[in-house]
Amino acid sequence: MTETASDLSPQREAADLLVEERLCSRFPDAASGLRQYVGLLGTDGVVRGLIGPREASRLWSRHVANCAVLGELVGEGSRVADVGSGAGLPGIPLALVRPDIRVVLIEPLLRRATFLIEAVSALGLEERVEVVRGRAEDQRLSADVVTARAVAPLDRLAGWTLPLTRVGGIVLAVKGEGAAEEVVASQLALERLGGGQAAVLTCGEGIVDPLTTVVRIVRLTAGRRRGSR
């Protein structure tokens, strides 16, 4: 039987309980799916090495909620590609709270891709969420939004994400406290790949604390793929 969030470790942090309440109150129609997904992360995700055992007490506050709030920056009806999806973050929380979008989860490792396929099926998301096993640089997509979380430094990440973004679309990279410094160091690489000036944004007011930090890059021109001449 699949465990729910309330079945996780009794040592859950108080902040985690609060964030769960806030997120499920904001998205009541998605609450059941979110709790089921957290249950999968805290059980199969830990057993398969996708989530660290110590993270089970803070899955909502450190992982699921700060990914779900990314939906504030995603346009209605968008096609989203999630690069290096891993355990489905941020792609699956986004799909759960935004039933109007379609999501492609891109993950090269077999064990992670297998978990994603099983999770998408268990959550009943097959009609809107596709799992692609492969490297981002081998894909040929033209997504409205490309997301990534904790994948790589921004200049390298741009080489994987901007080529998958349609001209006029955006990359949303979930980052930490050093986001502004990464933007400065990566601007020339972003421009070479067709990206405009990157902006550091926050989202999740009233749900997560600290707020989720996101680097937003608009693709202005076709640019060129990393490694092309």
d(CA 93, CA 109): 20
Whether residue 53 is preceded by a cis peptide bond, meaning omega within 30 degrees of 0, is no
Least reliable range by pLDDT among 6-20, 146-160, 170-184: 6-20
Q: Fill in the amino acid letter for 113.
A: A
Nearest partner of 158 among 185, 134, 133, judged by Cα: 185
- pLDDT at site 51: 94
What the chain holds in terms of domains, given with CATH numbers, is: 5-218 (3.40.50.150)
How far is CA 196 from each of CA 80, 129, 173, 187, rounded to the nearest angstrom?
19, 29, 14, 8
CB-count exposure of residue 137 (10 Å: 0-12, 13-18, 19+): middle
Q: Which residues contact 188 (CB under 8 A, 6 or more apart)?
A: none
- 10 Å Cβ neighbour count for 124? 11
Higher-pLDDT residue of 229, 135:
135
- pLDDT at site 6: 40
* Phi, psi values for residue 95, rounded to 5°: -65, -35
* Phi, psi values for residue 76, rounded to 5°: -65, 135
Q: What is the pTM of this model?
A: 0.91
With bands split at pLDDT 50, 70 and 90, how would you rate the model's confidence at 129? very high
How far is CA 174 from each of CA 50, 69, 138, 165, 214, rounded to the nearest angstrom?
18, 11, 22, 16, 5
With bands split at pLDDT 50, 70 and 90, how would you rate the model's confidence at 7? very low
